[in-house]
């Protein structure tokens, strides 16, 4: 396919990654890599967001997303404001629309971590500043951009790689599906029958994949998914908000643990990714996540660089 030209991303939202073209995603990843290099060389990037303020609404816990967005904004010369949803009038029934209208008068951009994807979209609809999805029950686009940057760093290029995701058909899996479809990747997903990715995301990824030529397979066999894989990705079995079903989940997901036995089927030089937080002994064993194939600390670090790229381009 002929690469599409990349227009300015200023003012754009990042809600699900579907709103970005593959050329725009690649441009973001290139900038993230460049910003990382510049930081390692000790070059200041503090003039990018001078005078700009990023608001960050959190309705769920966070270590990486919160800290990396705050530090990213600081390093770019802006100011980040952490807004715990329970401390906002939002927690007492003020509408998302009114919150969006008001915050747009003070801020230059908004990150939101929440439950319903519809809430992220409603915020974006009524805000006239860019809105970034910092995780919803449906998607985790910033995470997956950092994953792609990490895979590029360790594997040189994304082309021709086989990616395998093993575990819950959750927000991270959904964003990987969209990214894989956009970027023409070979992506195999294995989940238990009871916990597949959402039908609508499979359909959407399938529709995009038909245009790009990506191959996406949704399976139940972890061995088949991991066979000859270059990259193995997993995530927690119980996402935030699903705590009530954690016991039954542990049982259903037990055959989907990423362990020494499973990874024997992958390529000898496979890399292992996990967005973290991890539960050693559940979705992954300690020998894998703390072993030589894991790139999870680079992956966590890349949240910072990729989000600096996002903020630089859309704010
Ligand atoms: N991976 C990730 O989003 O981590 P946090 O929940 O700590 O932000
Ligand atoms: N799927 C996990 C990701 C955490 C970063 C969750 O939603 O809790």
At 4 the pLDDT is: 64
Residue 6 has pLDDT above 90, yes or no: no
Residue nearest (by alpha carbon) to ligand 1 atom 3: 65
Read off the pLDDT of residues 44-88 as tens digits, 9 standing for 90 and up.
999 999 999 999 999 999 999 999 999 999 999 999 999 999 999
Q: Percent of the chain beyond pLDDT 70?
A: 98
At 3 the pLDDT is: 58
Read off the pLDDT of residues 87-143 as tens digits, 9 standing for 90 and up.
999 999 999 999 999 999 999 999 999 999 999 999 999 999 999 999 999 999 999
Residue 23 has pLDDT above 60, yes or no: yes
Q: Say which ligand is closest to the CA of 274.
A: 1
Residue nearest (by alpha carbon) to ligand 1 atom 1: 275
Q: What is the mean pLDDT of the chain?
A: 96
Residue found under tokens 């996990």: 274
C-alpha neighbours within 13 Å on the C-beta side of residue 73: 23
At 114 the pLDDT is: 98
At 5 the pLDDT is: 66
Neighbours of 175 (CB within 10 A): 27
Residue 186, both tokens: 């070979």
Question: H or E element: which one contains 165?
Answer: strand 162-166
Ligand 2 center to 240 CA (angstroms): 6
Q: Which residues are marked as active site?
A: 113, 140, 143, 235, 275, 303
At 2 the pLDDT is: 53
Residue nearest (by alpha carbon) to ligand 2 atom 3: 239
At 1 the pLDDT is: 52
At 61 the pLDDT is: 97
Ligand 2 residue neighbourhood (C-beta within 6 Å)? 135, 170-172, 235-236, 239-240, 275
At 137 the pLDDT is: 98
Ligand 1 residue neighbourhood (C-beta within 6 Å)? 62-65, 135, 143, 275-276
Secondary structure string (H, E, C) spanning the chain: CCCCCCCCCCCCCECCCCCCCHHHHHHHHHHHHHHHHHHHCCCCCCCCCCCCEEEEEECCCCCHHHHHHHHHHHHCCCEEEEEEHHHCHHHHCCCHHHHHHHHHHHCCEEEEECCCHHHHHHHHHHCCCCEEECCCCCCCHHHHHHHHHHHHHHHCCCCCCEEEEECCCCHHHHHHHHHHHHCCCEEEEECCCCCCCCHHHHHHHHHHHHHHCCEEEEECCHHHHHCCCCEEEECCCCCCCCHHHHHHHHHHHHHHCECHHHHCCCCCCCEEEECCCCCECCCECHHHHCCCCECHHHHHHHHHHHHHHHHHHHC
At 7 the pLDDT is: 83
At 240 the pLDDT is: 98
Q: Percent of the chain beyond pLDDT 90?
A: 96
In this prediction the pTM is 0.97
At 184 the pLDDT is: 87
Instruction: Domains for the chain: give ranges and CATH numbers.
Output: 45-137 (3.40.50.1370), 143-299 (3.40.50.1370)
Residue found under tokens 């294995």: 190
At 82 the pLDDT is: 98
Read off the pLDDT of residues 140-189 as tens digits, 9 standing for 90 and up.
999 999 999 999 999 998 988 999 999 999 999 999 999 999 998 999 99
């Amino acid at each position: 396919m002929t690469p599409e030209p990349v227009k300015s991303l200023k003012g754009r939202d990042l809600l699900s990654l579907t709103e970005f073209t593959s050329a725009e995603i690649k441009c973001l990843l290139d900038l993230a890599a460049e910003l990382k290099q510049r930081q390692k060389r000790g070059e200041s990037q503090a003039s990018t967001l001078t005078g700009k303020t990023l608001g960050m609404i959190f309705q769920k816990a966070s270590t990486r997303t919160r800290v990396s967005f705050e530090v990213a904004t600081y390093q770019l010369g802006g100011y980040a404001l952490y807004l715990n949803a329970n401390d906002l009038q939002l927690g007492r029934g003020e509408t998302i629309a009114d919150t969006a209208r008001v915050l747009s008068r003070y801020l230059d951009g908004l990150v939101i971590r929440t439950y319903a994807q519809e809430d992220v979209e409603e915020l974006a609809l009524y805000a006239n500043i860019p809105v970034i999805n910092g995780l919803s029950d449906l998607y985790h686009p910033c995470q997956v951009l950092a994953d792609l940057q990490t895979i590029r760093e360790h594997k040189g290029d994304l082309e021709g790689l086989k990616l395998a995701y093993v575990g819950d058909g959750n927000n991270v899996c959904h964003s990987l599906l969209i990214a894989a479809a956009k970027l023409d990747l070979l992506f195999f997903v294995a989940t238990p029958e009871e916990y597949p990715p959402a039908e609508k995301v499979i359909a959407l990824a399938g529709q995009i994949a038909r245009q790009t030529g990506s191959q996406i397979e949704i399976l139940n066999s972890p061995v088949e998914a991991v066979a000859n894989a270059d990259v193995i990705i997993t995530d927690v079995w119980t996402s935030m908000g699903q705590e009530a079903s954690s016991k039954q989940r542990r049982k259903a997901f037990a055959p989907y643990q990423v362990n020494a036995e499973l990874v024997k089927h992958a390529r000898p030089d496979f890399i292992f990714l996990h967005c973290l937080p991890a539960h050693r002994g559940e979705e992954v064993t300690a020998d894998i996540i703390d072993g030589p194939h894991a790139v999870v600390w680079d992956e966590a670090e890349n949240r910072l660089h990729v989000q600096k790229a996002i903020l630089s381009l859309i704010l």
